[in-house]
Amino acid sequence: MIPVRGLQSHKVAVLGLGRSGLSATRALAAGGAVPICWDDNPDARARAEDEGFVCRPFKTARDFEDIARLIVSPGIPHLYPAPNLVVAAALEAGVPVDNDIGLFFQSFATNDWNKFDVAPRVVAVTGSNGKSTTSALIHHILTEVGRPCQLAGNIGRGVLDLDPPVDGEVVVLELSSYQTELARSLTPDVAVFTNLSPDHLDRHGGMGGYFAAKRRLFAEGGPDRAIVGVDEPEGRYLAGQLCEGRADERVIRISVAEKLTGPGWQVFARKGFLSEYRKGKQTASVDLRAVPGLPGSHNHQNACAAYATCRSLGLAPKVIERAFHSFAGLPHRSQLVGEKDGVRFVNDSKATNVDAAAKALSAFENIRWICGGLEKEGGLAELGAVASVRKAYVIGREAAGFALKLSVEAEVCTTMAQAVAQAVAEAEPGDVVLLAPAAASFDQYDNFEQRGEDFMAEVARYV
């Protein structure tokens, strides 16, 4: 646990008692603060009370008169699509609003670090797609070379559940826009921006607000090194804001769309080969085509981001390349879950938006595409015609409407069982049955993991 520093003896309100909220409550108490909790769910309140924490509602500004700070769980919208009443009451009372990420950065460094030969470092990864794979890949590479390392944030443990770091340790954090938008302290040593595509627009009041939430990771803390994907205008803008000139190597630009040139530091992947350029000269090359855990250009982008991060931490190219080959990938992200009679079954349930689905579709040929669910803002227009798709099998409560918007042959299946059964019946050797929904899961499932597990369970009936 990372005890929260700087709030000793102060009363701190905690709104939301899920994983991060309860973790923050414990860490506040461990640091000497007095947490006072609330969650609309009585079961969540009961769990907190069972641990001895006080729960009471916060309805008006008067309820915050003795409160030093309000900690809000990331799943709770605070400003858009409508102001949260508890957050609004805190702001009316002049109480600062924060989250567990802000508490972490406020509390991570201690005087014990004076005894270390090498100070611990924090790598923070954000972006629309690829955050989890990039974070896990960085953690895997560092672990493979024997570097002390922990993984947390939007993946693995909550940030305040981390162990106090040891000499030379690296903490890798995956941070969503929900986590970066409210944190009062954001001071990573290395910050990574993978890419940007429309997502969570209702939560952030549009694309500008969504990008602004991501940008805070770089603008608020001023990382020593920034790794920035420049395949979208926002990434190019961010890289331009952070650097002092073309040769500024504090910013490493990454791309899978073009060869990057110039006097600075660049890492890009083209036709399956990753290249590193510094001061206008190529310094390393890695063949990604034979890396089984990183199929497709979207994973090559993740590889570029992880490679650049590990290079900035002092690892040699050949060391990173060897670690690539032992990376198994993450569940629900281009995950090969079975093969029979020349037909492969791939689970990419994490492809919850159009951009992620398009990248998954580009990684394979002869696809039997299982898609559908709760359609996100922006629609499906960006998918366009996908030459690699032989047929789509559409699931979800609104499957018929979803199917009408696709530019490929589509069959309305509604359920996962029916979709998998129909795809199996029609698949031929060389085909790939791919779950890449291009939509949220909440019309039928609690989360994308449950949807992916249902797919795997149905596939298991046939392989």
Q: For 373-386, write each residue's pLDDT tens digit.
A: 998 766 676 665 67
- Residue of 165, 191, 58 lying closest to 104 (CA atoms): 165
Torsion of CA 320, 326, 332, 336, to 10 degrees: 130
- Binding-site residues for ATP: 127-133
Question: Where would I find the H helices in 145-206?
Answer: 177-180, 201-204
Give, to the nearest 10 degrees, the angle between helix 131-144 and helix 296-312: 50
Domains of the chain (ranges plus CATH)?
11-98 (3.40.50.720), 105-325 (3.40.1190.10), 335-459 (3.90.190.20)
State residue 296's pLDDT score: 83
Asked, as a colleague might, if the bond just before 96 is cis with ω within 30 of 0, I would say: no
User: Which residues contact residue 173 at a Cβ distance below 8 angstroms, ignoring those fewer than 6 apart?
Assistant: 101, 122, 123, 124, 125, 135, 152, 153, 154, 159, 188
Provide the annotated binding site. Answer: 127-133
Dump pLDDT digits (tens) for 243-275. 999 999 999 999 999 999 899 999 999 999 999
Measured between alpha carbons, how far is residue 51 from residues 25, 192, 462 in Å? 10, 37, 46
Identify the burial level of 236 via C-beta atoms within 10 angstroms of its C-beta, where 0-12 means exposed, 13-18 middle and 19 or more buried.
middle
Dmax over Cα atoms in the chain, in whole Å? Answer: 68
Cα–Cα dist 71/83, whole Å: 16
Please state whether beta strands 225-229 and 190-193 pair in parallel, antiparallel, or not at all (unpaired): parallel
Confidence of residue 198 (pLDDT cuts 50, 70, 90): confident
Q: Is residue 298 predicted with pLDDT exceeding 90?
A: no
Residue 362 has a pLDDT of 86
Band of pLDDT at residue 286, cut at 50, 70 and 90:
very high
For residue 355, name the pLDDT band (cuts at 50, 70, 90). Answer: confident
Residue whose C-alpha is closest to residue 358's, from 447, 294, 437, 259? 437
Q: How far apart are CA 374 and CA 216, in angstroms?
A: 29
Grouping H, G, I as helix, E, B as strand and the rest as coil, residue 98 is strand
Q: pLDDT tens digits, residue range 214-234? A: 999 999 878 999 999 999 999
Give, as one character, the DSSP assignment of residue 157: B
Q: How far apart are CA 140 and CA 134, in angstroms?
A: 10
